[in-house]
């Protein structure tokens, strides 16, 4: 299909999609880009958008009205649009996908299976089986695709050099003429008022006159003697299937199978597909070795789960390591400060108390536990330890003044309650402003609910734990 004709078809489908979304009452604006996906805003990084160029690619970016002015979530809106766009897809034969910009780093797809192995043709067959047998049978998985391109017919024009030289028509002239016939010829540029760059002036044969190989017979050359020679008299057209691209990642040949989710988390879908491949073989008899955090060894056929699932695991692995390091450093600092190995453990007892507020807080706010939520948990470790320090320091100072353990614990709770509560409420009010942010909402939920639960419990638990510790110490000394 000629490029300009393909652009017209792609533009037609994009406009049909635009008509569908325009009729939805909760859609505020939309923008269409034909010829390249991801040229609007930052979307060139989203799902490999910068690699999707050509006359067959278009993007319709939809902006919804403010979520505070509607009852339906974006997921519900997409679920309502899917049946209508599915009919349009059957009608036009186009591949229409509905995707949402992720709040985190860009990925090729929500669900991404990378297939590795020694024979690339076998990898293509495995991808087809994985797509039809595993992805399609997994609930809530939609927009399934793979990186294996469809068979494309390619026409090669082979010049008969002997005939061309007998007619005094150089092969280079034939090549240039055929290129101009198919792709057009730039004859100059024009400067338009609202264009930043000069716009090329292209002469091109109408698309109706170059729809197939038979139209090449309309191309004629004039010999030095003035005789008209048809292109088909000095060349022939060979038809074949164009070679398919071979993709590589980290120097290994790879085939991708991708999918999106209608409304659930990717964890459930990946777990079901992992369990399927763990217990069954593909119809071709191939048993795939599966990898998550590690990379394939290059032996046999393997699938590596990537996409948002791998990104999530990497993020929480790194944040978990950072949390563990912060706990160790806090403990070492407290050991040096108190010159004791036991008292720092009492002080740090406020840290696990935050979980009592963090997890229920996410459930109450209907918020997923995200990477920013984990950052909030790490920040809480330092905040709640400070509350324990205020109590334990006061208890130790009060005891040095000659008071009993019971008196010191009671005085600490009464005296330090006000500064601890003021600090906690200032943190909660300060972070409330970002609690509804789509990216940093998890951070606010962790800080607000974690601080509240830990503060309330710290005022009771930490003094009681210290009281038990001192009394056991006294009994041990007596015995």
Same domain, yes or no: 376 and 350: yes
In a domain, residue 110? The reply is: yes
CATH, residue 25: 3.30.70
Q: What percent of the chain has pLDDT over 90?
A: 10
Cβ contact 252:298 at 8 Å: yes
* Other beta carbons within 10 Å of 188: 9
The residue-averaged pLDDT of 332-343 equals: 90
In a domain, residue 318? The reply is: no
Q: How far is it, in rounded angstroms, from Cα 17 to Cα 32?
A: 10
pLDDT of amino acid 46 = 53
Residue 447 scores a pLDDT above 60: yes
pLDDT of amino acid 124 = 92
Span between the terminal Cα atoms of the chain, in Å: 95
CATH, residue 210: 3.30.2090.10
Same domain, yes or no: 64 and 185: no
Which range, 112-116, 281-285, 413-417, is most confident?
Answer: 112-116
Reduced 3-state DSSP string for the chain: CCHHHHHHHHHHHHHHHHHHHHCCCCEEEEEEEEEECCCCCCHHHHHHHHHCEEEEEEEEEEEECCHHHCCCCHHHHHHHHHHHHHHHHHHHCCCCCCCCCCCCCCCCCCEEEEEECCCHHHHHHHHHHHHHHHHCCCCCEEEEEECCCCCCEEEEEEECHHHHHHCCCCHHHHHHHHHHHHHCEEEEEECCCCCCCCEEEEECCCHHHCCCHHHHHHCEEECCCCCEEEHHHHEEEEEEECCCCCEEECCEEEEEEEEEECCCCHHHHHHHHHHHHHHCCCCCCCCCEEECCCCCCCCCCEEEEEEHHHHHHHHHHHHHHHHHHHHHHHHHHHHHHHCCCCHHHHHCCHHHHCHHHHHHHHHHCCCCCCHHHHHHHHHHHHHHHHHHHHHHHHHHHHHHCCCCHHHHHHHHHHHHHHHHHHHHHHHHHHHHHHCCCCCCHHHHHHHHHHHHHHHHHHHHHHHHHHHHHHHHHHHHHHC
pLDDT of amino acid 333 = 92
pLDDT of amino acid 50 = 52
In a domain, residue 332? The reply is: no
Q: How far is it, in rounded angstroms, from Cα 53 to Cα 10?
A: 12
- Locate tokens 């007998």: which residue? 166
pLDDT band at residue 40, thresholds of 50, 70 and 90?
very low
Domain that holds residue 258: 102-149+244-306
pLDDT of amino acid 44 = 43
- Locate tokens 């009452």: which residue? 25
In a domain, residue 79? The reply is: yes
Burial pattern 413-437, b for ≥16 Cβ within 10 A else e, equals: beebeeebeebbeebbeebeebbee
Same domain, yes or no: 32 and 138: no
pLDDT band at residue 45, thresholds of 50, 70 and 90?
very low
Identify the weakest region by mean pLDDT among 16-25, 47-56, 405-414, 445-454.
47-56
Same domain, yes or no: 115 and 254: yes
Instruction: Select from 211, 241, 271 the last residue of a domain.
Output: 241
Beta-bridged to residue 240, according to DSSP, are 154
In a domain, residue 196? The reply is: yes
Q: What percent of the chain has pLDDT over 70?
A: 92
CATH, residue 109: 3.30.70.1440
Same domain, yes or no: 234 and 262: no
pLDDT of amino acid 209 = 79
Tokens of 349: 């007892």
Same domain, yes or no: 469 and 447: yes
CATH, residue 393: 1.20.1640.10
pLDDT band at residue 223, thresholds of 50, 70 and 90?
confident
Dihedral sign for Cα atoms in the order 404, 407, 413, 415:
negative
In a domain, residue 136? The reply is: yes
Instruction: Select from 241, 270, 285 the last residue of a domain.
Output: 241
Looking at the 3D structure of the chain, how many domains does it have?
Answer: 4
Cβ contact 268:121 at 8 Å: no
Same domain, yes or no: 468 and 375: yes
More confident residue, 50 or 340: 340
pLDDT of amino acid 458 = 85
Identify the weakest region by mean pLDDT among 180-189, 289-298, 311-320, 384-393.
289-298
Cβ contact 426:442 at 8 Å: no
Same domain, yes or no: 111 and 131: yes
* Other beta carbons within 10 Å of 195: 9
The residue-averaged pLDDT of 304-320 equals: 85
Q: What is the pLDDT of residues 358-394, one digit of tens each?
A: 989 989 988 888 888 889 999 888 888 888 888 888 8
More confident residue, 337 or 13: 337
pLDDT of amino acid 116 = 92
Instruction: Select from 226, 241, 256 the last residue of a domain.
Output: 241
Same domain, yes or no: 213 and 273: no
Same domain, yes or no: 89 and 12: yes
pLDDT of amino acid 155 = 86
Same domain, yes or no: 127 and 259: yes
* Other beta carbons within 10 Å of 207: 15
Average pLDDT over the chain, rounded to an integer = 83
Same domain, yes or no: 37 and 55: yes
Q: How far is it, in rounded angstroms, from Cα 380 to Cα 348?
A: 11
Tokens of 392: 């334990």
In residues, how long is the chain?
Answer: 479
In a domain, residue 317? The reply is: no
The residue-averaged pLDDT of 338-356 equals: 88
pLDDT of amino acid 42 = 40
Q: What is the pLDDT of residues 142-199, one digit of tens each?
A: 888 888 888 888 888 888 888 888 888 888 888 888 888 888 888 889 888 877 788 8
pLDDT of amino acid 18 = 79
In a domain, residue 331? The reply is: no
């Amino acid at each position: 299909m000629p490029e300009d004709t393909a652009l017209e078809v792609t533009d037609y489908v994009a406009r049909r999609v635009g008509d569908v979304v325009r009729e939805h009452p909760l859609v505020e604006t939309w923008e269409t880009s034909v010829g390249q996906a991801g040229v609007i805003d930052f979307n060139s990084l989203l799902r490999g958008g910068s690699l999707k160029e050509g006359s067959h690619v278009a993007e319709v970016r939809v902006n919804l009205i403010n979520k505070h002015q509607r009852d339906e979530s974006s997921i519900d809106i997409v679920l309502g649009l899917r049946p209508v766009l599915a009919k349009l897809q059957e009608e036009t034969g186009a591949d229409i996908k509905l995707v949402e910009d992720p709040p985190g780093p860009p990925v090729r797809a929500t669900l991404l299976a990378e297939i590795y192995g020694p024979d690339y043709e076998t990898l293509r067959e495995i991808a087809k089986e994985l797509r039809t047998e595993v992805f399609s049978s997994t609930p809530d998985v939609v927009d399934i695709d793979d990186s294996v391109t469809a068979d494309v017919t390619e026409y090669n024009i082979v010049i008969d050099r002997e005939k061309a030289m007998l007619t005094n028509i150089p092969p280079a002239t034939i090549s240039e003429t055929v290129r101009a016939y198919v792709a057009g010829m730039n004859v100059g540029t024009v400067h338009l008022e609202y264009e930043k760059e000069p716009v090329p002036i292209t002469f091109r044969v109408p698309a109706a006159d170059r729809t197939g190989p038979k139209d090449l017979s309309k191309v004629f050359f004039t010999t030095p003697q003035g005789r008209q020679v048809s292109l088909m008299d000095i060349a022939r057209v060979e038809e074949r299937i164009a070679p398919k691209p071979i993709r590589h990642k980290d120097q290994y040949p790879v085939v991708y199978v991708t999918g999106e989710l209608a409304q659930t988390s990717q964890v459930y879908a990946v777990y079901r597909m992992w369990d399927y491949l763990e217990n069954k073989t593909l119809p071709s008899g191939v048993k795939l070795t599966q990898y998550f955090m590690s990379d394939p060894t290059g032996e046999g056929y393997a699938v590596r789960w990537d996409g948002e699932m791998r990104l999530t695991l990497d993020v929480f692995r790194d944040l978990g390591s950072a949390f563990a390091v912060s706990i160790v450093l806090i403990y070492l600092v407290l050991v040096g400060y108190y010159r004791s190995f036991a008292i720092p453990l009492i002080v740090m007892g406020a840290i696990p108390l935050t979980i009592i507020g963090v997890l229920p807080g996410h459930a109450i706010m209907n918020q997923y536990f995200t990477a920013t939520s984990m950052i909030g948990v790490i920040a809480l470790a330092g905040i709640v330890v400070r509350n324990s320090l205020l109590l334990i320091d006061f208890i130790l100072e009060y005891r040095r003044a000659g008071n009993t353990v019971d008196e010191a614990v009671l005085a600490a709770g009464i005296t330090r309650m006000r500064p601890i509560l003021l600090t906690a409420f200032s943190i909660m009010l300060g972070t409330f402003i970002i609690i509804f942010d789509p990216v940093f909402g998890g951070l606010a939920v962790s800080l607000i609910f974690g601080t509240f639960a830990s503060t309330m419990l710290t005022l009771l638990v930490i003094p009681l734990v210290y009281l038990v510790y001192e009394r056991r110490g006294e009994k041990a000394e007596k015995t």
